[in-house]
Amino acid sequence: MSYNIFSLARNALSGHKNWQPAWREPEPKASYDVVIVGGGGHGLATAYYLAKEHGITNVAVLEKSWLGSGNIGRNTTIIRSNYMLEGNNPFYEWSMKLWEGLEQDFNFNAMVSQRGIMNLFHSDAQRDAFARRGNAMRIHGVDAELIDREQVREKVPFLSFDNARFPIQGALIQKRGGTVRHDAVAWGFARGADSRGVDIIQNCEVQGIKMEAGKVVGVETSRGYIGCNKLALCAAGNSSEVAAMADMKLPLESHVLQAFVSEGLKPYLDTVVTYGVGHFYVSQSDKGGLVFGGDIDGYNSYARRGGLPTVEHVIEAGVSMIPGISRVKILRSWGGIMDMSMDGSPIIDKTHIDNMYLNCGWCYGGFKATPASGWCYAWTIAKDGAHELNSQMRLDRFRRGYMMDEKGMGAQPNLH
């Protein structure tokens, strides 16, 4: 069913009783051309682009829980393409371009809002680093502007400009950055994939990977054995566990990241602001709640909840940047499992095992990458090789010594 003004009018006149479910609930078939493990944003986007761009529709997405229960429905919804390194920048900019046409493309309102993102800086050294990043972005044709303290004040007057310890000196802004309603992204890709013939199978946990003569031939699941010609891992925070079923050890650590939402407020923040020193980021949702987050909890975990010390740490950073936040009530907080890689950059690649592909290592920045990740992964699976855009996101870069360390932190996954 296409969503348009005519279907809206027709359904309004019939009391909204005839809308079809956005996707089917099929029983798993005995085998598929491609089985994707993980019905998060990346898995669903991969299925969508496999069908749309490559005509591969005999595909199943296996999700152990309900669709959107993972990080795709838990993130703070920020999109941007303010990356500096060669291997990252064109990829994230391609993602931004896909976001810009996504709602028309998959015929679903994902509330893509290019309200801009403002990264504050607080010292001369940080200004220089941001200027360098902005220049690298502009060389790649990505929009970036460096603004001074007074220009920041004009846009967001309620920040703490009197903060003696971390004075705001200015900001790097990307006006095309912003937010997207995260679960609508899962629903839109799911609907688009399903309408092209992809089977989305919820409550179907992959429990084992079956190999014959060194090749993957299928998966054992909580709903029985499912054969496949190609197996695409896309399990984000659970990637290490799933890869271990094929005896693969990944250069990843799983960490928990928390997010928070406040009570609804009148509109007062019309952009995304990030705090350069306190690692705090905030936007205001269309319902009025402040959506914000900070650092990961800092210990390995598969739990989707965090600890109180990090709650305190994040709120302290928020109050230090926007003192008025101390009077706002927090409604909810939650956690998600982050697949933190050793250099902070992702992996989209074939593996050394025949028929098995890998997509992981998104750290806490994979939401913005969802369309490009699906697009490039679909290419890699269909053509059995990397597209130029993900040509540096190879698994063997750690062995070869070609890190993509955007933050310059070294092999410390908890710091990326």
Q: How far is CA 361 from CA 326, 341, 343, in A?
A: 34, 5, 9
Residue 47 token pair: 């299925």
CA atoms within 13 A on the CB side of 219: 33
Q: Is residue 121 at the binding interface for ligand FAD, with CB under 6 A as the rule?
A: no
- 296 CB-contact burial (10 Å; exposed 0-12 / middle 13-18 / buried 19+): buried
What lies within 8 Å, CB to CB, of 102 at 6+ separation is 110, 112, 185, 188, 371
Judged by CB under 6 A, the chain residues 272 through 311 that form the site for ligand FAD are 293
Minimum gap (Å) between residue 77 Cβ and ligand FAD: 6
Specify the pairing of strand 289-300 against strand 252-264.
antiparallel
Residue 85 or 131: which CB sits closer to ligand FAD? 85
Residue 72 or 171: which CB sits closer to ligand FAD? 72
Q: Is residue 187 at the binding interface for ligand FAD, with CB under 6 A as the rule?
A: no
Q: Which of 137, 26, 147 is nearest to 86 (CA)?
A: 137
Minimum gap (Å) between residue 293 Cβ and ligand FAD: 5
> Site for ligand FAD (CB under 6 A): which residue of 35, 56, 59, 72?
72
CA 261 to chain centroid, in Å, comes to 18
> Site for ligand FAD (CB under 6 A): which residue of 235, 269, 342, 386?
235
Q: Is residue 76 at the binding interface for ligand FAD, with CB under 6 A as the rule?
A: yes
Which of the ranges 93-101, 164-172, 192-200, 236-244 carries the binding residues for ligand FAD, by CB under 6 A?
A: 236-244
Q: Is residue 376 at the binding interface for ligand FAD, with CB under 6 A as the rule?
A: no
Residue 127 or 290: which CB sits closer to ligand FAD? 290
Specify the pairing of strand 31-37 against strand 224-233.
parallel
Query: Which amino acid, one-letter code, is at 149?
Result: R
| Cα dihedral across residues 84, 87, 92, 97: positive or negative | positive
Which of the ranges 66-74, 135-143, 316-324, 404-412 carries the binding residues for ligand FAD, by CB under 6 A?
A: 66-74
Task: Give me the residue whose beta carbon is nearest to ligand FAD.
Answer: 40
Show contacts of 134-138: CB within 8 Å, 24+ apart.
Answer: 134/82, 134/172, 136/84, 136/85, 136/89, 137/81, 137/82, 137/83, 137/84, 137/89, 137/174
> Site for ligand FAD (CB under 6 A): which residue of 168, 259, 317, 358?
259
Q: Is residue 41 at the binding interface for ligand FAD, with CB under 6 A as the rule?
A: yes
3-state SS class at 92: helix
- 411 CB-contact burial (10 Å; exposed 0-12 / middle 13-18 / buried 19+): middle
Which of the ranges 111-119, 134-142, 193-201, 235-243 carries the binding residues for ligand FAD, by CB under 6 A?
A: 235-243
Minimum gap (Å) between residue 34 Cβ and ligand FAD: 15
Site track for ligand FAD across 335-374, x = CB under 6 A: -x-------------------------x-xxxxx------
Q: What is the total count of residues that contact ligand FAD (CB under 6 A)?
A: 39
Specify the pairing of strand 31-37 against strand 59-62.
parallel
Minimum gap (Å) between residue 367 Cβ and ligand FAD: 3
What lies within 8 Å, CB to CB, of 382 at 6+ separation is 50, 53, 54, 56
Q: How far is CA 185 from CA 60, 63, 179, 208, 347, in A?
A: 18, 16, 11, 29, 21
Q: Is residue 39 at the binding interface for ligand FAD, with CB under 6 A as the rule?
A: yes
Which of the ranges 11-19, 38-46, 157-165, 402-410 carries the binding residues for ligand FAD, by CB under 6 A?
A: 38-46
Residue 242 or 342: which CB sits closer to ligand FAD? 242
Residues that bind ligand FAD (CB under 6 A): 37-43, 62-65, 69-72, 74-78, 205-206, 234-238, 242, 257-259, 293, 336, 362, 364-368
